[in-house]
Structure 1
Amino acid sequence: MRNIQDKTKKRLTIAGLGIVCVALVIAISSQFKTETPPDGGNAPASIATVEVNPSADIGGKAGEKEVVVPASEPTAAPADNTAPQTDQPVQNLQPEVTKPPEPTESQKTDPTRKPSGEKVDNVQATDHNNVQKPDATQTGEPKGGERKDGKVYLPGFGWVTETGGSGTKVDGDGDINKQVGTMD
């Protein structure tokens, strides 16, 4: 068997792909063709007819013909009277939405009931300007940063062993791409 050269392989591959593309274009375009019914049932109903009277002479100009267009009656839009295609009843997924009636003024201002009509327990109004916040010392919880037995209290974490803030100082002149330390 004879070996095919690379150049020939490329040409055959491109030709094959071209044929596949042409076949796909033909297949896709055949899906977009419109079919006309054999009885012509979808013809537009409001086509105006034009009558031409060749013998009429208008304004003494010979050669011009009068065009008479009869007034067409507007056609009513077809009503949605589609017959059910099955003998099953029509299912409504959601009931018809209706707006609730507006409450009366006495219902709006009644302090013993909510606007929805629910009864409210005895709730006394408080003056929000004079409310005092509870103090942290009243709850028995220590303040943040307080030290005791070599531990520090951090709110949300509790008593934590103090590490002393150990760290190392790195020499840097602001260059973020500078290597720090040795990479062995």
Structure 2
Amino acid sequence: MVDGLTQLANRRRLQSDFGGLLQRLREDQPLALWMLDIDHFKSINDNWGHSAGDEVIKHLATLCRALVRPQDLVVRYGGEEFCVLMPDTSLADALHMAEQVRAATAKSVCVPDAGTLLAGAPSLEIRLTVSIGVAELRVDGCEELEDLVATADRRLYAAKKSGRNQVVNHD
């Protein structure tokens, strides 16, 4: 239920929590989800090393946890991909919160232990950006977690295709 690197929830926990939320959800209650991916993560690993890449993932996990509400579930979905499940959150509110996380990430600096960096690392600091896709259960006509994730994921890839470091909440 917990990711070992970040101490965030994992996909199994997401599935479990989503099932419970869906059972308790009233017809008029919104439920939003983001898919979030670190931009150019491969180049971070290639230039700073995989240990530094792990530090970047932990850095982003800490940022997300600090910037979302207590009732939101932050999940390490896989690799450098995260998702956030947001009960009682409209698409517009989820977009606004995702934009706050995107902007805060772009302003942040990850400083891994110098001893873990590759010898030729470009600097001691790693700056990163994220792309985020946002979906909402009812507005987007989703019935299951898979539909909601697929919609948010499609929008995440649209954000990446459009230049990265942005949030997309529509097809």
TM-score exceeds 0.5: no
More strand, by proportion: 2
Q: Larger C-alpha radius of gyration, 1 or 2?
A: 1
More helix, by proportion: 2
TM normalised by structure 1 equals 0.13
TM normalised by structure 2 equals 0.14
Higher relative contact order (CA 8 A, sep 6+): 2
